[in-house]
Amino acid sequence: MSDDKDRASLEELESKLAAVADKREETHSPNRAARKTSQGMAIGMRISAEMIAAVLVGLLIGWALDRVLDTMPWLLVLFVFLGAGAGGLNAYRVAKGYDSAVGLGRAIRERKQGTKD
């Protein structure tokens, strides 16, 4: 009976030690700074991809409409500017965190939740 109690208390102690070690590794890990840098790089890459994609879509739509309507440079120029505006708006939304799935808003929300606990 005492052997079972000892074994149960040892298992409980091991699980507590493992939890403390994991928590310590999270807070004192040298990879923590690298993770923050990679998150910032990911947001920067997403913003640049949003800008490039929006301008390219505007360019393609303007080019196609110009060919169909035979108004050669005008719609192309108009839709490139509209694409640049849309890309800028998307980049602003990502940077300000209005995009709730990923981005700066999510990181800020997770940080606030982490400090309240």
Q: What is the mean pLDDT of each run of 10 residues along the chain (117 residues)?
A: 73 84 69 69 89 96 95 94 94 76 66 68
The sign of the CA dihedral 59, 64, 70, 75 is: negative
The SS3 of residue 103 is coil
CB 72 within 8 Å of CB 66: yes
Query: What pLDDT score does 5 carry?
Result: 75
